[in-house]
Amino acid sequence: MARHLITSALPYINGIKHLGNMVGSMLPADVYSRYLRQRGHDVLYICATDEHGTPAELAAKEQGIPVDEFCAQAHDAQKAVYDGFALAFDYFGRSSSPQNVEITQHFARKLKENGFIEERAIRQVYSPADGRFLPDRYVEGTCPHCGYDKARGDQCENCTRVLDPTDLIDPRSAISGSTELEVRETKHLFLLQSRLQHEVEAWVAAHEEEWPHLSSSIARKWLNEGLHDRAITRDLDWGVPVPADTWPELAAEGKVFYVWFDAPIEYIGSTKEWSDQDPENRDWKSWWYDVDTDVRYTQFMAKDNVPFHTVMFPATELGIREPWKKVDYVKSFNWLTYYGGKFSTSQKRGVFTDQALEILPADYWRYFLIANAPESDDSSFTWEHFTATVNKDLADTLGNFVNRVLSFSRKRFGDEVPAGSAAGEAEARLGEEIARLLAEYESQMEALQFRKAAAALRALWSAGNSYLEEKAPWLEIKTDQDGAALTLRTAMNLIHLYSVVSEPFIPASSAAMRTAFALPDDTATWVTADEAKALDFVPAGTPFTVPPVLFAKLTEDDLEAYKERFGGEPV
């Protein structure tokens, strides 16, 4: 049984992330990790804050605090939100860690040793008003490809094209706003990706048929356009320093590595952070070094990150000429939009993750986002759709089933699971249907098809309602008490099954369902097909309690209040 290494795109240190960021990487990675753990796999889920680069420096400057202090505070604030969403990272690290500095510098030295890094003199934007060279993100202007007037000097967030600062039309300093910019000569390190083109092509070719079409098509597009040598250092105060023992002149000038060079390495760095906390029991290299046949590595990210992880970072790893683990499967996502437009903090449009938790518990969001994950194309968040999904799937289909079964049984048979008669034809049909739907659910989870997995889970919940409507214990009890008791006992076993298999999606609600039954020896992590057919995990006589309402229905007043607070009109 393979070990599973799972990573999700590193959230940038600036600001709390919106729902699109959550569903585009961290949440599906968490759902998959939870599922694999339940199936008995050895799983390591690693993530971290991406802390280097221009925006962190600018944000710290705006707040008037040192950048390291800003990043420490922002890391803790983000981690609190992710804890609120019940993201079960094995470790959530920081790209500014000493471990990442050490490994990044090692990678750079090996690339130089192997002839894939060279020092070049380049002409770079200089701002006399600021008295400094301006790294790419310190330069803003109009994208020459799509005309977006807030493009940055490294990438246009509108059309996702990678840029250089000198590509921008009407460039200006992001520090002072000055347009009196010059171009002067300075030296930087370049990663010679062009020399690695054929190796990257061969590596992608070996994986792209297995990857989602979105991942393979983006990687192929970049390769078809040709890999270009890229500057991997910047003139910043905050970042992984260029090692003085290898490049003394550049180190003396204070050069640091480009954030997109060190950030992917942080997956390894963060694993070493995790390992260093308990070195006797954790071995970070066993997950990352010379382990291609033992570890299955799956990455989760939105489409804008795909080029860096399918082309640029693999080029780095190939150039090192050491057996570092490369990704096996890149699960990529399209955009989640807000009424068809972008989430925007400045325009107060859209829901950000901290605000989401202020409104409703995490399970509401977790289920909705995964059930509507933007896998095949972009998807749009609307309050109308959210409200309808919560009310239909969570409140009516699952929550109401749990409440009415347990409440009715307690009212008519007391606080223990009733015995009743032996299972009959209806229970046999139900068992077969549950086993079939469970197999479908497992199949979609294994294939990382999250919307289809959510549909299969919803079908499992619906099967319980169909059985209850067919047997109608509220009528059955009038003429056949043992039959009604059997129906309720079977339905309670469904609740227990739901508590197990729903855990990757709605962990808190699953725990509430499971702890409703006094089963001290209940250590089941999954449900086999035979167990699904038998539906007898919760025996007669088991004490139970009725949990609080799992999911409250959202009202029209709620809907209008949410739209007023967060914006609800299409752009």
CB 190 within 8 A of CB 164: no
Whether residue 71 is annotated as binding a ligand: the answer is: no
pLDDT value of position 569:
66
pLDDT tens column, 499-540: 999 999 999 999 999 999 999 999 999 999 999 999 999 999
Report the predicted TM-score, pTM, of the whole model to 2 decimal places: 0.92
Sheet of 182-191, strand order = 132-133, 117-127, 182-191, 230-231
Whole-angstrom CA distances from 28 to 76, 122, 374, 424 are 22, 42, 11, 39
Superfamily designation of domain 399-534: Isoleucyl-tRNA Synthetase; Domain 1 (1.10.730.10)
Check residue 162 and give left, alpha or beta (phi > 0: left; psi -120 to 50: alpha).
beta
pLDDT tens column, 129-187: 988 888 887 899 999 999 999 998 888 988 888 888 889 999 999 888 999 999 899 99
Q: How far apart are CA 351 and CA 182, in angstroms?
A: 40
Query: Which tokens sit at 550?
Result: 């799992």
Tell me if 3-134+181-333 shares its fold with 399-534: no
The percent of residues above 90 in pLDDT, for the chain, comes to 86
Please name the amino acid found at residue 45. Y
pLDDT value of position 346:
61
In this structure, the strands spanning 169-173 and 139-142 are antiparallel
> Could you write out the three-class secondary structure of 125-145?
EEECCCCEECCHHHEEEECCC
State mean pLDDT over 7-23.
95
Lowest mean pLDDT among 292-296, 365-369, 546-550: 292-296
Please name the amino acid found at residue 571. V
pLDDT value of position 570:
53
Pick from 258, 261, 256: which is nearest to 237 by CA? Answer: 256
Pick from 263, 283, 348, 300: which is nearest to 29 by CA? Answer: 300
CB 189 within 8 A of CB 284: no
Q: How far apart are CA 491 and CA 481, in angstroms?
A: 15
pLDDT value of position 540:
96
Check residue 180 and give left, alpha or beta (phi > 0: left; psi -120 to 50: alpha).
beta
525-528 own/partner pairs: CB under 8 Å, 24+ apart: 525/37, 525/38, 525/39, 525/40, 525/500, 526/38, 526/39, 526/40, 526/500, 526/501, 527/438, 527/497, 527/500, 527/501
pLDDT value of position 195:
97
Burial class for 410, CB neighbours closer than 10 Å (0-12, 13-18, 19+) = middle
- CB atoms inside a 10 Å sphere around CB 98: 12
Q: How far apart are CA 571 and CA 341, in angstroms?
A: 6
Check residue 254 and give left, alpha or beta (phi > 0: left; psi -120 to 50: alpha).
left
- Domains of the chain, by residue range, sit at 3-134+181-333, 399-534
pLDDT value of position 53:
87
Query: Is a pLDDT exceeding 70 seen at residue 249?
Result: yes
Q: In the block, which residue shows the tokens 């997950």? A: 287
Whether residue 47 is annotated as binding a ligand: the answer is: no
Q: How far apart are CA 394 and CA 368, in angstroms?
A: 9
pLDDT value of position 95:
97
Q: How far apart are CA 186 and CA 168, in angstroms?
A: 19
DSSP letter, residue 324:
B
Residue 571 CB contacts under 8 Å (≥ 6 apart), including other chains: 339, 340, 341, 342, 349
Query: Which tokens sit at 137?
Result: 């993100």
CATH number attached to the domain at 3-134+181-333: 3.40.50.620
